[in-house]
Amino acid sequence: MSQAAVLPQQVATRRWRSGALARVPYAVIALYVLVALIGPLVIDYDPVRTPLPDRLLAPGSRIASGEIAWLGTDALGRDILAQIVYGARTSLGIGLATVLVACVVGVTIGVVAGYSRGRLDAVLARITDVLQAFPAILLAIVIAGVFARSVPVVVLSLSVTAWISFARVTRGVALSLRERAWVDAARVMGVPVRSIIVRHVVPFTVGPVVALATLEFALVVLAEAGLSFLGIGLPTGAVSWGQTIANGQQYLETAWWISTLPGIALSLLIINIGILGDQLTARHGQRRPRS
Amino acid sequence: MVAVTRMVVRRLLIGVFVMWGAASVIFVIVRAAPGDPAAVFLGPDADKEQIARLTAALGLDKPLFEQYVRYLGDVLRLDFGESYRLGRPAMEAVFERLPATIDLTLTATAVAVAVGLALGLVAGSRPGGAVDRVVSAVTIALQSFPTFWVGIMLVLTFALGLRLLPSAGVGTPAHLVLPAVTLAFPFTAIVARLTRSSVAEAMREPYVQTARSKGLSERQVLLGHALRNSLIPVVTIVGLQMGALMGGAVIVENVFAWPGLGSLVVDAVANRDYAVVQAVTLLIAGVVMVLNIVADVLYVRLDPRIRTEVAS
C-alpha cells in the first residue's frame, strides 16, 4: 500500500529523467549551497544593526546609504536579501548536521539490529514505538524549548526522531542480506561479525540511505524553519528564514515582502530537494518515509 | 472476530507500554532541563526558605527513582500538578483547550480527504495523462510549502487582500476556514498520492474490466468499483497521519492565535511551565495512539481479504 504511494513521482520521474528537466533540482540545490557558502562573504549583515530610517522599504528601494535594497527591508530597517542569504547558511547547516547525526546513528542501529535480529531487534522496535508516540515536531519543540538556546540543541532535538527512518530502512536491507551466500561464506570462514557488517552489509545500504537522506533533509529543514518561526531553539542573533517570516507577520498589511520572500526561498529549496529525493528513491527502490 | 479481538488486545497492551515509555521520555527531558522547578514556580522574588519548602512539598528532594515512581502514579491519575502560570491544575487547562484542537484537526482531515480523494481520482483514472502530471506537480508543491508560511500567505490573500475571512482568533465558523485549510495542505497531498496510486492499480484489475464489459459507464466504474477499494488504504493513512496532523496543528495554531493545545504547549515550553508541557504532550501521545489503533481495526474490518489473513 505505501510502496504504491511513490507511483505518481515515479511516473513523473521516468519522464523527466530523459530530459534536461531531471537536472534542474541539482542546479537549484547547487545554487543554494553556493549562496550559503559564499553569500555571507559578499553580503554584510548584522542582525543587531537596525537603521531605523530604512525601515519597511519596498523591494527595489534606495536605502539611506545610497545602496538598493533589492528585496526590501524589515521593520527594523534590516535588508531582506541579506537575511535570506544568511538564513540559507543556517538552514543548510542545521539540515546537514542533523541528517549526518541521524544517518550515523540510524544506520548503525539499523544494520546491527537487522543483522543480529532477536532481542536487539525487538528492543529497537519498542524504542521507535515510544518515540513515534509523539508528533516529531512536538518532541523537537519540547527538547529545543527547555534546554539553553543553541545550534547543537536544535540539531539534537531534530535528530531524536530523524534517525528512525534510517534505522528502519537499513534494518530491512541487513535482514535480507544476512541470508545471502557471500555473507554465509564470510561467516563460515570465521570473519568477525563487525567486519561482516562493515564490509558485506553496510555497502549495500548506501543507495537507499542516500535517497532517504535527501528526503529527510527536506523534512529537517522544514522542521527547523518551524522551530525558528515559533521562536524556539536558535540563539538570539542567529538569522533564519522561519524567524524572518515570523517577524513579518505583524507587518503583512504594509510590508508583504518580509514574510513572503523568505517563504518562497524556503519552498523552492524544499520542492527541489523533494523532486531529487523522489528521483533517487525511484532509482533505489526504497519507499518514501511517512510524515 | 475472535482474531480481531485478539489483535485489539495485543495493540492495547503495546499501547500501554508505549504510554509508559512516552511518560518516561518526558520525565527524563523535564528532569534534565536546566533550572530548579520550584524556583521557576515561585518566581524571582522567592527566598531560599520558600524554595526549599516547595521543593520538599513537590517531593523534588527525594531520590530520583522515588520521584519517578510518584510521577508515574500521578500520570495514571491524570494529575500533572498546578500550572504556576495559570494558577490551577494543568489538566484542567488542557481539557479546556482540547475542543478547539479537535475542531481544527477534524475539519482539516475532512478537507484533506475530500480534496485529496478528488485529486487522486482524476489523476489515477488516466495514469500518465496531462491531468495526472498536473496533480503530481500540485501534490509536490502542497507537501513542500512550510505550513506556517502557507497560513500567512492565505491571510495575506483572503483576509487582508480580499477581506473575505478573519485573519486570526475564534468565534464564527469563518474563523475556522483558514487554519483548517492551512493544516490540510500537506495531508491533501498525501491522500491524493495514495488515492491516485491505488485507483491506478485498481483500474488494471480484472473486476474493473468486468464492470466495463458489462456496459457500465466510465464514471460508474470509477466511483462504484475503483474508488471503493481505494478507500481502504485512505482510512489507514488518515489514522497513521494523526500524529503528523497533531504536530502540524501545533504550528498552525500559533499562526492563527487558535486557542487549542498547540498554542498552549508552545507558550508553556517558552515559559518552563512543565506541568502543562507534560499534560499536553502525554495527552497528544495518548490520542494519537488510540486513533492509530482505531485505524488498524477499521482497516481489518473494512477489508475482508485482510480479515481472513488476521484470522488465519
User: A41-90, pLDDT tens digit by residue?
Assistant: 888 888 778 788 888 888 887 887 878 888 888 888 888 999 999 999 99
Minimum-distance CB partner of B146 among A139, A225, A253: A225
Minimum-distance CB partner of A263 among B21, B132, B146: B146
| CB contact set of B89 (below 8 Å; sequence gap of 6+) | B79, B80, B81, B82, B83
Per-residue model confidence as pLDDT tens digits over A94-150: 999 999 999 999 999 999 999 888 888 999 989 998 998 899 999 999 999 989 899
| pLDDT(A9) > 60 | no
User: Quick one: pLDDT band at residue A290, thresholds 50, 70, 90?
Assistant: very low
d(CA A121, CA A57): 58
**Type of residue numbered A85:** V
A193 in Cβ contact with A267 (< 8 Å): no
User: Quick one: pLDDT band at residue A5, thresholds 50, 70, 90?
Assistant: very low
> Which residues 225-244 in chain A show a CB within 8 A of chain B?
225-226, 229-232, 242
**Angle in degrees, 0-180, between the axes of helices B274-302 and B90-125, rounded to the nearest 10:** 40
Instruction: Name chain B contacts of A248, Cβ cutoff 8 Å.
Output: 152
Look at residues B53, B101, B27, B65 and name the one whose alpha carbon lies nearest to residue B274. Answer: B27
User: Quick one: pLDDT band at residue A291, thresholds 50, 70, 90?
Assistant: very low
Instruction: Name chain B contacts of A290, Cβ cutoff 8 Å.
Output: 240-241, 244
Q: Quick one: DSSP state of residue B158? A: I
CB of A165 within 8 Å of a chain B CB? The answer is no
Name the CA radius of gyration of chain A, rounded. Answer: 22
**Helix or strand (DSSP H, E) at B88:** strand B88-89
Query: What pLDDT does residue A19 have?
Result: 64
d(CA A93, CA A152): 11
User: Quick one: pLDDT band at residue B262, thresholds 50, 70, 90?
Assistant: very high
| pLDDT(B169) > 60 | yes
Distance to chain A for B254, nearest Cα, Å: 8
Query: What pLDDT does residue A158 have?
Result: 96
Distance to chain B for A196, nearest Cα, Å: 33
Instruction: Name chain A contacts of B204, Cβ cutoff 8 Å.
Output: none
More confident residue, B311 or B136: B136
Minimum-distance CB partner of B123 among A8, A143, A260: A8
Minimum-distance CB partner of A126 among B17, B34, B143: B17
Give the percent of chain B with pLDDT over 90.
44
| CB contact set of B306 (below 8 Å; sequence gap of 6+) | B299, B300
C-alpha neighbours within 13 Å on the C-beta side of residue A242: 24
d(CA A50, CA A48): 6
Q: What is the 3-state secondary structure (H, E, C) of A41-91?
A: HHCCCCCCCCCHHHCCCCCCEECCCCCEECCCECCCCCEHHHHHHHHHHHH
Per-residue model confidence as pLDDT tens digits over B266-279: 999 988 888 899 99
Q: Which parts of chain B fold into alpha helices (H)?
A: 2-32, 37-42, 48-57, 64-76, 90-125, 130-144, 147-154, 174-202, 206-213, 218-220, 227-240, 242-255, 261-270, 274-302, 304-311
Mean pLDDT for chain B overall: 87
Supply the pTM of this predicted model: 0.88
Look at residues A206, A98, A3 and name the one whose alpha carbon lies nearest to residue B201. Answer: A3
| pLDDT(A20) > 60 | yes
| pLDDT(A11) > 70 | no
CB of A101 within 8 Å of a chain B CB? The answer is no
| CB contact set of A260 (below 8 Å; sequence gap of 6+) | A248, B152, B153, B156
> For residue B66, how many other CB atoms are within 10 A of its CB?
11
Query: What pLDDT does residue B309 have?
Result: 64
Instruction: Name chain A contacts of B17, Cβ cutoff 8 Å.
Output: 126, 129-130
- String of DSSP letters for A110-163: HHHHHHH-HHHHHHHHHHHHHHTTS-HHHHHHHHHHHSPP-HHHHHHHHHHHHH
Per-residue model confidence as pLDDT tens digits over A265-285: 999 999 999 999 888 888 876
Which numeric CATH code is attached to A21-284?
A: 1.10.3720.10
Query: What pLDDT does residue A3 have?
Result: 42
Mean pLDDT for chain A overall: 86
Instruction: Name chain B contacts of A259, Cβ cutoff 8 Å.
Output: 149, 152-153, 156
Distance to chain B for A66, nearest Cα, Å: 31
Query: What pLDDT does residue B23 have?
Result: 94
Mean pLDDT of B220-248: 84
| CB contact set of A71 (below 8 Å; sequence gap of 6+) | A59, A79, A80, A81, A84, A257, A261
Contact call for A147 and B233, based on CB within 8 A: no
How many angstroms separate the Cα of A195 from the Cα of each of A178, A192, A224, B267, B298? Answer: 13, 5, 37, 50, 45
Instruction: Name chain B contacts of A267, Cβ cutoff 8 Å.
Output: 141, 144-146, 149
CB of B11 within 8 Å of a chain A CB? The answer is no
Mean pLDDT of B282-288: 92
**Type of residue numbered B234:** V
| pLDDT(B107) > 60 | yes
> Which residues 246-275 in chain A show a CB within 8 A of chain B?
246, 248-249, 252-253, 256, 259-260, 263, 266-267, 270-271, 274-275
Enumerate the β-bridge partners of residue A73. A79
CATH superfamily of B102-263: MetI-like (1.10.3720.10)
